[in-house]
Amino acid sequence: MTSTKAPAFAIPPHVLYRQVDGQMVLLDLDSERYFGLNEVGADMITRLTDQPYAAALASLTSDYEVDPNVLHRDVTELVEALLDAGLLERAEGSP
């Protein structure tokens, strides 16, 4: 059974991450490569790994005062890039 209250995404165990001055540094231990996210990207990932998908999108839309379609596209692009890089994984019930 899936829960709609659970975050849709998680940062996998082989990735260490840390917020620094709002930005996020991720270290993929499999490839031993560092990656950086700017403040907006870091905020998106923090919310997506902390809240259900719909709630994360709603709060981002509200806080950034942005067209929901534009935000959805930006979030999708970032999530796909991070999934491809192995820096993010889908949790149960993710879109």
Partner 1 sequence: MSRGELQEHRIYLADDRKLAAYRAALAEVVKPGEVVLDLGSGTGLLGYLACEAGAKSVIAVDGGDIIAAAREIAAANGYADRIIHIQALSTETALPTPADVAVCDQIGGLVYDAGILAFYADARKRLLAPGARLIPAAFEIMLAPVTFEAGRKAVDFWSSRPGSIDVSPIHPLAANTEWHYNPAPEDIEKLAGGKVLASFASDHDDPIKGSATFEVEVPGSFDGFLGWFVSRLSPSVTLTNDPWSPDRLERWSNFYALDKATPLSPGDCVRLDLDVRPRLSLVSWSTTVLHSDGRTHRSRQSTFNSSFLSASAVNGFVTDQPVGTSERSELIRQVLDMIDGRRTQRDIVSLLSDRVGTDFASPTHLENFVRRVVKLNSRDLM
Nearest to 12 by CA among 54, 31, 4: 31
If one asks whether residue 36 binds partner 1 (CB under 8 A), the answer comes out as yes
| In the complex, minimum distance from the CB of residue 19 to partner 1, in angstroms, rounded to a whole number | 10
Amino acid at 54: A
With CB under 8 A as the contact rule, the residue among 2, 3, 12, 16 that binds partner 1 is 16
32 binds partner 1 (CB under 8 A): yes
Torsion, Cα of 65, 67, 73, 75 (10° steps): 20
For partner 1, give the closer residue by CB, 22 or 86: 22
* Helix locations, 1-95, DSSP H: 39-48, 53-64, 68-85
Could you tell me which stretch among 23-31, 53-61, 62-70, 71-79 binds partner 1 (CB under 8 A)? 23-31
Q: State which amino acid sits at residue 15.
A: V
We find the least distance from the C-beta atom of residue 23 to partner 1, in angstroms, to be 5
